[in-house]
Amino acid sequence: MGCSDSDYTYLRKLVLAQSSNLIDPSRNALFETRLTPMARLAGVANLEEFVGVLRKDTRPQLHRAVAETMTINETSFFRDRLPFEMLRETVLPDLIARRRGQRRLRIWSAASSTGQEAYSMAMLLCEHFPELASWDVMIIGTDLSREVIETARAGRYRRIDVNRGLPVRMLMKYLERDGEMWEMCARAQAMCEFQELNLCAGTQSFSEMPEFDLVLLRNVLLYFSQPDRSRVFGKVRRQIATDGYLLLGNAEQAEDSTKLFTVEFATGCYVYRPANAE
């Protein structure tokens, strides 16, 4: 006997309330895969019994832990080739030209998971834009999950992680081997800062965030409902410079936020500028 439809409905609502992650009923099996180890840690035999525990134990820490476990943390270094080529060839040269007087650059890796996207940006800047070595550059990675933020801050990755998307030359240049792990170099780590943030939280949660020149909001919106997507776009618009850039994932569009953003170009991925940008 497994979970009932009402159990799965309860779990989907719990995750949605805690993280705005909208899980389709066709993916119910994912609960079994991800939550069964947590159920055993809680001292019960299966997911059905764990749902019973969750219904009775309303501690926010436990419910948040369930939501974090269900968060999709799939990532890799230089994930998808075309976006990074576009950044290197078009977006970053334009931003650097615009910011040359200030010598300051702020980049936001939203839903940064274990940090590979933010560190990929750091390596890209070091490799192709050496003049930025004397600039004030900060890449801020945010994610809902405390566990993945701690991994990102440590900057230490397994061989299987560095073998995904990271060219050998870049691996040897920007990471140092430490036993079975690889650690990001001090320069790349100094450029990156990681913090917990729920993209669907109230605007007060964003109050200490700076104004960003570039926002990477990739491969996360497809897990949100349409109202939540609209709210996230509104928050991002408030955090982005009037002449900044917004980069979405290959399968994502700001179709419901055309008053806030306009498409700059869409060859292989969608790059947006704030509406009325110069």
User: What is the mean predicted confidence (pLDDT) over 1-8?
Assistant: 82
For the segment(s) 81-274, the CATH number from 3.10.180.10, 3.10.450.240, 3.40.50.150, 3.20.20.140 is 3.40.50.150
Cβ–Cβ < 8 Å for 126, 174: yes
Domain with CATH 3.40.50.150 in the chain: 81-274
Burial of 223 (0-12, 13-18, 19+ CB in 10 A): buried
Alpha-carbon span 177 to 159, nearest angstrom: 9
Cβ–Cβ < 8 Å for 71, 146: no
pLDDT of residue 108: 97
Burial of 4 (0-12, 13-18, 19+ CB in 10 A): exposed
Alpha-carbon span 269 to 248, nearest angstrom: 7
Average per-residue pLDDT in the chain?
A: 86
Cβ neighbours around 213 below 10 Å, total: 23
The predicted model scores a pTM of: 0.77
Alpha helices in the chain (DSSP H): 5-19, 29-41, 47-56, 60-70, 81-86, 92-98, 116-128, 146-154, 159-162, 168-174, 186-191, 226-239
pLDDT of residue 166: 87
Query: Who wins on pLDDT, 37 or 188?
Result: 188
Q: Helix 5-19 vs helix 47-56: angle between axes, to the nearest 10 degrees? A: 60
pLDDT in tens, 114-156: 999 999 999 999 999 999 999 999 999 998 888 889 999 999 9
Q: Which residue from 136, 3, 124, 21 is spatially nearest to 69, judged by alpha carbons?
A: 21
pLDDT in tens, 199-245: 877 766 787 899 999 999 987 776 676 777 888 888 999 999 999 99
Cβ–Cβ < 8 Å for 82, 268: yes
Instruction: Choose the weakest-confidence range: 86-90, 110-114, 151-155.
Output: 110-114
Extract the tokens encoding 176: 């140092």
Q: Which CATH number is 5-70 given?
A: 1.10.155
Instruction: Choose the weakest-confidence range: 50-64, 115-129, 243-257.
Output: 243-257
Cβ–Cβ < 8 Å for 91, 40: no
pLDDT of residue 160: 86
Query: Who wins on pLDDT, 228 or 9?
Result: 9
Is the pLDDT assigned to residue 1 strictly greater than 60? Answer: no
